[in-house]
Amino acid sequence: MTASDEERNDSSVTKNEKEEDIMDLVGGDGPWQRWIFMVTLLCCVPDGNHNMVMSFFAPNLDHWCARPPDVNISIKEWKTIALPPNDQHCSRYKFINFSHINEVAVQNITDRPTIPCDSWEYDDTVYVSTLLSKFNMVCDKGWLVSISKSVFISGYFVSNTLFGYLSDKFGRRPVLAISDAVAVVAAIICAFSISYPMFLVCRFFIAAGVMGMDTTAFVLLMEIVGPKYRSMYGMGSHFGWDLGYLVLPGLAWLLRDWFKIQIVITLPCVLLLSSWWLLPESPRWLLAHGKTDEALKTLTKAAKRNGMYSEDTEVKLKAIISKATKLNLMVEKRVKLGVPSAGTLRHKELNPFSPGVRGVNAFVYYGISFNTNEFAGDPFINFAVCAVIEIPSYIVTYFVIQSQGRKNPLAVSLVAAGVSCLLIYPVPKGKKEYYIPTEHNFVIQSQGSRNPLAVSLVAAGVSCLLIYPVPKDPWWINSSLYLIGKFFITASFSIIYIFTVELFPTTVRNAGLGAASINGQIGSILAPFVRELGKATHPVIPPIIFGVLAATGGGLVLLLPETNNRIVPETVEDATEVRY
């Protein structure tokens, strides 16, 4: 028998053997999975904390040229006498001698030349201390705020590449602990930054750590639940991110000091160092790497905890583990024979994401989320409302992807969010009322991942394209479209995580998720600068960019295979056999 004949026989055997998912034998949904879910949920909290906190580290603060030490007049008098009415934030009138400034005739002041501010005073009625005032990130240095957000996302980029590879090579559990330790050290040092470059470096490593925790914990969770429960647990894990997101306005309102906020949001990372003792290694990873004894021990413990253990269960587990060992040997043989595998997977599954589906999701999501300071009304309430709207989005999306699959809902969500984006930027300032859309149907349960993903993307794009033409009054129309856009882009963002995990095989799942996420990180890095582009050109430019890209991303989703209620692939061969 030739090597190719032996390989074909092995393939036909293993294909039938894998019809029954191993987690169904120990209980696909039970106390064992729920305990791991709770820890995973907490592992996602620091990511939401540290990612979105810049809105309170560098909020929109009223600022003006600082009064010289020898000038003893009130702020109101200083603004009237020394600051030009059309630019009180970044320039002042030029005076030779400040000692008699209060004697200068106001009617003649406008004839004086102006010079840029060399120092600033800040309105401290809302915040006691911010990074904006600490490092003077205003006027010609205002772009540094966008830089800090992009540097943070760059940490995601490195994390997805490095920790994804390490997780697939050394296991989910050790990488989770290492990434958490990185986040703790960087976050503590960040609080004591003495310069802006030091702050940026710390933020970079914080991002790498919290993303490593988030992604690795998510992959572990998806690998320990049964196929029909992946959507439920996958969508549920996003509440961890949203919890971290949602507590920020409350912390900022109570503390009003960036240093104190930084210390408080570091505490969850410190507590999660205990995850090394709280979480097991993924049995799928153990089997994929030939660690059969450890896998049997973990699966037996899971079966007992879920009340599924019996002598028959142990026999079936040993049989599956034996088959998994045979399959691993076959895969190694293929590698030695040079049989195409990873290249085929990369071409078929990874390339459809490369043109921009992941990038579009992240680009539009962060484009909306990072600009809550531009929204009308109280900044704390605005931020909280934008965080709260993600909760119904997750719930609705869960039921939709169960009934409609992943692909179409993702596409529609992207287009709908895109349409809403075109109406976000013209929202008038100064309003304190808020509107949250409530007319949603809970239909995701039977639709899977692909179709809801496509629907979400399409809906996001359509929303963006309609933003700018809508009249500014009444104001609540724009506010509603902003939240609708956030609702749909959040839906697509949550669907694509589950979708990606289901597309990649166990042997390269974490690395595959990381590689697909790289496109998302590129979009995330660029998103903060869209605001600057709008200031330099025209307010309509950012929503047009969001709308067109979101709609395009929704179309690209339709090129992907549906994965709803299918057993996740264990090997590269399994993944390449997925049909469109």
Q: Check residue 577 and give its pLDDT.
A: 59
pLDDT of 394 above 90: no
pLDDT of 548 above 70: yes
pLDDT of 505 above 90: no
Please give the average per-residue pLDDT across 142-152, as a whole number.
Answer: 87
Q: How far apart are CA 44 and CA 472, in angstroms?
A: 37
Please give the average per-residue pLDDT across 515-530, as a whole number.
Answer: 74
pLDDT of 434 above 60: no
Q: CB under 8 Å, gap of 24 or more: what pairs does 33-39 form? A: 33/224, 33/225, 33/229, 33/233, 33/302, 33/306, 35/305, 36/220, 36/221, 36/224, 36/279, 36/280, 37/221, 37/233, 37/236, 37/237, 39/217, 39/275, 39/278, 39/279
Q: What mean pLDDT value characterizes the chain? A: 75
* Burial class of residue 222 in the structure, from the number of CB atoms within 10 Å of its CB (0-12 exposed, 13-18 middle, 19+ buried): buried
- If you average pLDDT over each of 108-117, 247-256, 379-388, 461-470, which comes out highest? 247-256
Residue 413's pLDDT band, with cuts at 50, 70 and 90, is confident
pLDDT of 440 above 50: no
Q: Check residue 38 and give its pLDDT.
A: 93
pLDDT of 348 above 60: no
Please give the average per-residue pLDDT across 143-157, as a whole number.
Answer: 87
Please give the average per-residue pLDDT across 384-401, as a whole number.
Answer: 83
350 versus 231: the higher-pLDDT residue is 231
Whole-angstrom CA distances from 548 to 56, 367, 410, 541, 544 are 30, 14, 15, 11, 6
315 versus 440: the higher-pLDDT residue is 315
Q: How far apart are CA 408 and CA 555, in angstroms?
A: 9
Please give the average per-residue pLDDT across 336-357, as a whole number.
Answer: 44
| SS3 category, 554 | helix
pLDDT of 407 above 80: no
Residue 26's pLDDT band, with cuts at 50, 70 and 90, is confident
- If you average pLDDT over each of 181-185, 272-276, 531-535, 557-561, which comes out highest? 181-185
Q: Check residue 342 and give its pLDDT.
A: 41
Please give the average per-residue pLDDT across 288-314, as a whole number.
Answer: 83
pLDDT of 331 above 50: no
pLDDT of 458 above 70: no
User: Residue 371 carries which DSSP code?
Assistant: T
Q: Check residue 101 and give its pLDDT.
A: 58
pLDDT of 40 above 80: yes
Q: How far apart are CA 245 and CA 530, in angstroms?
A: 22
Six-digit token pair at 234? 């996958």
Residue 97's pLDDT band, with cuts at 50, 70 and 90, is low
| SS3 category, 539 | coil
Q: How far apart are CA 179 and CA 241, in angstroms?
A: 17
Check: CB of residue 372 under 8 Å from CB of residue 58: no
pLDDT of 573 above 90: no
- pLDDT above 90: percentage of residues in the chain: 19
Ordered by where they begin, the domains of the chain are: 63-122 (no CATH), 347-429+471-569 (1.20.1250.20)
List of residues 6+ apart from 312 with CB closer than 8 A = none
Least confident of 108-112, 223-227, 408-412, 575-579: 575-579
126 versus 94: the higher-pLDDT residue is 126
Six-digit token pair at 304? 């007992």
Q: Check residue 223 and give its pLDDT.
A: 87
Please give the average per-residue pLDDT across 222-235, as a whole number.
Answer: 83
Least confident of 256-260, 337-341, 380-384: 337-341
User: Residue 449 carries which DSSP code?
Assistant: E
Check: CB of residue 292 under 8 Å from CB of residue 284: no
Q: Which residue has the tokens 């050394």?
A: 170
**Entry pTM:** 0.76
* Burial class of residue 307 in the structure, from the number of CB atoms within 10 Å of its CB (0-12 exposed, 13-18 middle, 19+ buried): exposed
Q: Check residue 175 and give its pLDDT.
A: 93
Q: Check residue 510 and give its pLDDT.
A: 62
- Strands 114-116 and 91-93 turn out to be antiparallel
73 versus 163: the higher-pLDDT residue is 163
Q: State residue 115 phi and psi, 5-degree precision.
A: -135, 155
Q: Check residue 422 and give its pLDDT.
A: 59
Q: How far apart are CA 542 and CA 538, in angstroms?
A: 8
Cβ-based neighbour number of residue 162 at 10 Å? 15
Residue 43's pLDDT band, with cuts at 50, 70 and 90, is very high
Q: How far apart are CA 325 and CA 333, in angstroms?
A: 12
Please give the average per-residue pLDDT across 91-100, as a whole number.
Answer: 67
In SS3 terms, 73-133 reads as CCHHHHHHHHCCCCCCCCEEECCCCCCCHHHCCHHHHCCCCEEECCCEEECCCCCCECHHH
Q: List the beta bridge partners of residue 93.
A: 114
* Buried/exposed code over 257-270 (b: 16+ C-beta within 10 A; e: otherwise): ebbbbbbebbebbe
Q: How far apart are CA 204 and CA 212, in angstroms?
A: 12
Q: Check residue 398 and give its pLDDT.
A: 79
Q: How far apart are CA 240 and CA 289, in angstroms?
A: 30
pLDDT of 423 above 60: no
357 versus 435: the higher-pLDDT residue is 357
Q: List the beta bridge partners of residue 402.
A: 445
Q: How far apart are CA 57 and CA 134, in angstroms?
A: 10
pLDDT of 326 above 80: no
Please give the average per-residue pLDDT across 87-108, as a whole number.
Answer: 64
pLDDT of 354 above 70: no
pLDDT of 333 above 60: no
Residue 140's pLDDT band, with cuts at 50, 70 and 90, is confident
325 versus 442: the higher-pLDDT residue is 325
164-223 pLDDT, tens digit per residue, is: 889 888 999 999 999 999 999 999 999 999 999 999 999 999 999 999 999 899 889 988
pLDDT of 128 above 60: yes
Please give the average per-residue pLDDT across 140-148, as a whole number.
Answer: 85
User: Residue 257 carries which DSSP code?
Assistant: B
Residue 57's pLDDT band, with cuts at 50, 70 and 90, is very high
534 versus 580: the higher-pLDDT residue is 534
Residue 310's pLDDT band, with cuts at 50, 70 and 90, is confident
Six-digit token pair at 448? 């899977």
Six-digit token pair at 542? 């950012």
Residue 499: which of 485, 520, 521, 482 has the closest Cα?
Answer: 520
Q: How far apart are CA 221 and CA 568, in angstroms?
A: 13
